[in-house]
A and B are shown apart, each in its own frame.
Chain A
């Protein structure tokens, strides 16, 4: 608990988490408003999935925030001050990842329910009540994906130690590599089904079969073969393994 408090003080006494939180919320909720504003009853009806259209953009910002939380420690060598105060490096880094993940999850939930809420306000006549398990996952699942993605971002930050490098890897991976893998002949689609962010997306867009709905009515659907909850577990497992590697490396490396 002590170390969680330490990391909380560290996180909120710098500016970047505040800015990233603000940008993430404006982006996602803004997209929710955009979807609500441009929806038309017969051509493109507003659905709960559609209100979450902007979640991937907020995800990118949240991962930037999470990566910066650790890379700025390397940039300003406060990581050394941290390891002097807490020589047990894994516990210090686990505390950091926990605090960052909790913040990311809270941002995710505010973003998701904010997007949904603004759509309800703008289109009071459309039925946007959250009833089914799928609808709950589509909204509340955003926070879970954000939280786990933050752990992935912290792990990449620990491994690379440079803000620009870590952010570049995260963005290129999430935004370019995963979609572009599908272009590889024959095996591309099979690989894509198991890539981590695509798997995570299954929680939010999967079941009922998303291929039956209009692509524009929500975030691009996932083609992962796992069910929504196993997909989330797989994504969490991936995050834990990557973070574990980061802990081993940080423990051995000269600070």
Chain B
């Protein structure tokens, strides 16, 4: 369990992290979500004792990271896959790490096997692709077989295969009962990976809840209706007092569920080609919640577009 209490970090006058309190429950994948520059990496560095908080504290199982004995046995972290000397081989990189926490040398071969880098173990890490570097970083995080794992933007810049691999890997780690804390600005990714969400914007906590609750709270559920003769249905819906929005050929209805709309369609003898519940995407929920806390706004007007809606149950 990771616990942040009143965590604050300021650089001069800039508050990077502002009185942030949250907890990461044991044995689950918790997503750490926020726009770029929200303070996610700074928070992770403070949890890991790399940066000293200006105020507050971060505890792992009740201890500050810098007070842990042989910390790799308790906490594994991948903050940046490029934290490797480019001329050192993958095996040598893991060897010195293992040695520093008195882990057996054979553990190096084990983690290389787990992440599938055995074949390139003696190659220089500088020649690795981003995906391979990421795997090496994960191998390093797993060296001490820790119960707590932190990953900072692990899928950033990876190809689809790499993303899928990382996603499966996170789930596997959580299934093994480990605590996984993973940051991302990719909301759709978090929806697939995380069970819990800690959302921050501009260094402040926006919400902490389960992923489902977060999406449900923040998004409006609608139903998409498509058909060749919607005029009759439209007036019937209008009489029922629900709000209707036109979206190309179809109607988007909010305030009535699929079953009721279907029955209404039957009564008005309307042929339907589509009747599907729509759930607002994490992106929308996220934009709604963090809309005024994004550090660098763009000039592009951001209205909801059909492309941001994904069918429910995906």
Please determine whether chains A and B interact with each other in the same assembly. Answer: yes
| B65 and A13 contact, CB distance less than 8 A | no
Which partner residue on chain A sits nearest B71 by CB separation? A87
A42 to B192, CA, bound (A): 87
**Given A14-B85, A14-B87, A72-B85, residue A84 in contact with residue B95 (CB < 8 A):** no
CB-CB under 8 A from A9, the residues of chain B are 92, 95-96, 99
B 96-111 contacts with A by CB, 8 A: 96-97, 99-102
| A80 and B79 contact, CB distance less than 8 A | yes
Count of residues in B whose CB is under 8 Å from the partner chain: 33
Interface flag for B229 (CB, 8 Å): no
Which partner residue on chain B sits nearest A83 by CB separation? B50
**A-B pairs with lowest CB-CB distance, top 8:** A13-B92, A87-B66, A85-B100, A254-B51, A9-B96, A77-B83, A255-B50, A6-B100
A 1-53 contacts with B by CB, 8 A: 2-3, 5-6, 9-10, 13-15
With both chains docked as a complex, state the minimum distance between the C-beta of B127 and any C-beta of chain A, in angstroms.
Answer: 14
A6 partner, pick from B52, B71, B99, beta carbons under 8 A: B99
CB-CB under 8 A from B102, the residues of chain A are 2
**Given A84-B50, A87-B71, A254-B45, residue A13 in contact with residue B89 (CB < 8 A):** yes
CB-CB under 8 A from B77, the residues of chain A are 84
Residues of A within 8 A of B (CB): 2-3, 5-6, 9-10, 13-15, 72-73, 76-78, 80-88, 252, 254-255
B68 partner, pick from A2, A87, A255, beta carbons under 8 A: A87
CB-CB under 8 A from A10, the residues of chain B are 85, 88, 96
CB-CB under 8 A from A76, the residues of chain B are 82-86
Interface flag for B199 (CB, 8 Å): no
B 38-68 contacts with A by CB, 8 A: 45, 48-52, 65-68
CB-CB under 8 A from B140, the residues of chain A are 81
Number of A-B pairs, beta carbon distance below 8 Å: 78
A13 to B65, CA, bound (A): 28
**Given A14-B85, A14-B87, A84-B77, residue A254 in contact with residue B50 (CB < 8 A):** yes
| A13 and B96 contact, CB distance less than 8 A | yes
A–B complex contacts, Cβ < 8 Å, 24 sampled: A5-B99, A6-B96, A6-B100, A9-B92, A9-B95, A10-B85, A10-B88, A10-B96, A13-B92, A13-B96, A14-B88, A15-B87, A76-B82, A76-B83, A76-B85, A76-B86, A77-B80, A77-B82, A84-B50, A84-B71, A87-B66, A87-B67, A254-B45, A254-B51
CB-CB under 8 A from B52, the residues of chain A are 252, 254
**Given A6-B99, A83-B49, A254-B52, residue A13 in contact with residue B83 (CB < 8 A):** no
Mask, B23-49, CB within 8 Å of A = 1, is 000000000000000000000010011
Which partner residue on chain B sits nearest A16 by CB separation? B87
Query: Which of B72, B87, B96 has the most CB atoms of chain A within a 10 A radius of its CB?
Result: B96
A254 to B66, CA, bound (A): 13
CB-CB under 8 A from A5, the residues of chain B are 99
CB-CB under 8 A from B49, the residues of chain A are 83-84, 87
With both chains docked as a complex, state the minimum distance between the C-beta of B150 and any C-beta of chain A, in angstroms.
Answer: 10
| A255 and B88 contact, CB distance less than 8 A | no
**Given A2-B99, A86-B100, residue A78 in contact with residue B92 (CB < 8 A):** no
A185 to B47, CA, bound (A): 55
With both chains docked as a complex, state the minimum distance between the C-beta of A183 and any C-beta of chain B, in angstroms.
Answer: 41
A73 to B84, CA, bound (A): 9
| A3 and B96 contact, CB distance less than 8 A | no
CB-CB under 8 A from B84, the residues of chain A are 76, 78, 81
With both chains docked as a complex, state the minimum distance between the C-beta of A71 and any C-beta of chain B, in angstroms.
Answer: 12
A6 to B80, CA, bound (A): 21
| B92 and A80 contact, CB distance less than 8 A | no
CB-CB under 8 A from A78, the residues of chain B are 83-85
CB-CB under 8 A from B93, the residues of chain A are 13
A6 to B88, CA, bound (A): 14
Which partner residue on chain B sits nearest A14 by CB separation? B87
Which partner residue on chain A sits nearest B49 by CB separation? A87
A3 to B96, CA, bound (A): 9
Which partner residue on chain A sits nearest B52 by CB separation? A254
A115 to B245, CA, bound (A): 90
CB-CB under 8 A from A81, the residues of chain B are 83-84, 97, 140
A239 to B100, CA, bound (A): 26
| B88 and A13 contact, CB distance less than 8 A | yes
B 157-206 contacts with A by CB, 8 A: none
Which partner residue on chain B sits nearest A82 by CB separation? B100
